[in-house]
């Protein structure tokens, strides 16, 4: 058994605790002991939007890493900015779960004749800027609400009838303690309704110079996943500094070819891009050129 006991930093919501437990299970396979440290609890700050809440929680985790209070921070990788703070590094990534999004629609707001099956004028909650842009491109009649913007409160509002539909990633949906009653579920194809960069992947972040911890996590790293998430996050890096929030998804087929899909709101106009390539080199740059063009 390795003599270093790893301190796993996470946030105190169901998703964060799920990923921390998953991390412990993975480490146990290699006889590595660990403790879970709750760095921040969701919902403790009066933040205006879901994106602000995510930024607050990620910053709390990264600050804890930089102060040496934890050895590794575990995240849903889609929550990470394209720019990692100086001194930190994404040391390993997990297998990729289903990267797609789900639309949960109240049965009395479900209309099979409409695109995405939401009735005309149906109110959608818990939508990111990426999701809003793509849904609006097809359904400009759909309004959105940020009130009660976290997933749990949105599900409560959905079941009470205050809103008609909510977005959940496939991972978040699968982590629900109980199935949501009286809803219809629309599964969104990630090649057509593009998810956030690296959605469905768990990321482990460490201090860049903590070679002991980084060495331990090499056993957990999935290179075949990172070769695709690197493309997605490179697109994010290139556009994030200009204020854009692209949706990007990349997959690799059985012949080793890469297929990348992207969508981004460019000053109120949704731009899309699709690139297929036998190599990962230059794919992100080509995607960005199409989106900006």
pLDDT digits (tens, 9 = 90+) for 65-83: 999 999 999 999 999 999 9
Neighbours of 194 (CB within 10 A): 29
* Nearest partner of 101 among 137, 79, 141, 130, judged by Cα: 130
| Mean per-residue pLDDT over the chain, rounded | 91
Question: Looking at residue 258, what is its pLDDT?
Answer: 98
Instruction: Answer yes or no: is pLDDT of 236 > 90.
Output: yes
Q: What is the pTM for the complete model shown? A: 0.91
Residue 3 in this model has a pLDDT that exceeds 80:
no
**What are the structural domains of the chain?**
1-94+201-221 (3.40.190.10), 101-188 (3.40.190.10), 222-293 (3.30.160.40)
Strands 165-169 and 124-125, bridge-based pairing? parallel
Which contiguous run of DSSP H or E holds residue 174? helix 170-174
pLDDT grade for 1, boundaries at 50, 70 and 90: very low
Residue 136 has pLDDT above 60, yes or no: yes
49 pLDDT above the threshold of 70:
no
What mean pLDDT is predicted for residues 91-104?
Answer: 97
Cβ contacts of 184 within 8 Å, gap of 6 or more: 104, 105, 106, 107, 110, 117
Residue 245: how many other CB atoms lie within 10 Å: 17
Average pLDDT over residues 170-179: 88
Judge whether residue 46 has pLDDT over 60: no
- The pLDDT score that the predictor gives to residue 47 is 46
User: Which of 33, 13, 14 lies closest to 23, judged by CA?
Assistant: 33
Confidence of residue 150 (pLDDT cuts 50, 70, 90): low
């Amino acid at each position: 058994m390795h003599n270093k006991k790893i301190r796993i930093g996470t946030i105190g919501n169901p998703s964060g605790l799920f990923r921390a437990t998953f991390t412990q299970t993975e480490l146990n396979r290699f006889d590595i002991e660990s403790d879970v440290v709750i760095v921040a609890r969701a919902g403790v700050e009066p933040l205006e939007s879901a994106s602000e809440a995510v930024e607050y929680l990620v910053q709390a985790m990264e600050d804890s890493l930089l102060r040496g209070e934890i050895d590794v921070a575990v995240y849903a990788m889609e929550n990470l900015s394209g720019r990692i703070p100086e001194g930190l590094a994404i040391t390993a990534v997990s297998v990729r779960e289903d990267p797609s999004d789900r639309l949960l629609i109240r049965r009395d707001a479900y209309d099979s004749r409409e695109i995405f099956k939401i009735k005309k004028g149906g109110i959608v909650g818990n939508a990111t800027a990426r999701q809003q842009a793509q849904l609006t491109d097809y359904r400009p009649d759909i309004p959105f609400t940020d009130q009660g913007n976290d997933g749990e409160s949105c599900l409560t509002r959905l079941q009470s009838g205050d809103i008609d539909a909510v977005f959940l990633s496939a991972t978040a949906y699968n982590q629900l303690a109980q199935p949501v009653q009286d809803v219809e579920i629309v599964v969104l194809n990630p090649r057509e309704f593009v998810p956030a960069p690296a959605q469905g992947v768990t990321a482990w972040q460490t201090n860049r110079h903590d070679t002991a911890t980084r060495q331990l996590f090499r056993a957990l790293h999935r290179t075949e996943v990172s070769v695709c998430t690197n493309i997605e996050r490179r697109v994010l890096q290139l556009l994030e500094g200009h204020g854009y929030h692209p949706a990007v998804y990349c997959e690799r087929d059985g012949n080793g070819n890469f297929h990348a899909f992207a969508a981004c709101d460019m000053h109120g106009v949704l731009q899309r891009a699709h690139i297929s390539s036998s190599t990962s080199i230059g794919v992100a740059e080509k995607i960005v050129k199409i989106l900006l063009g």
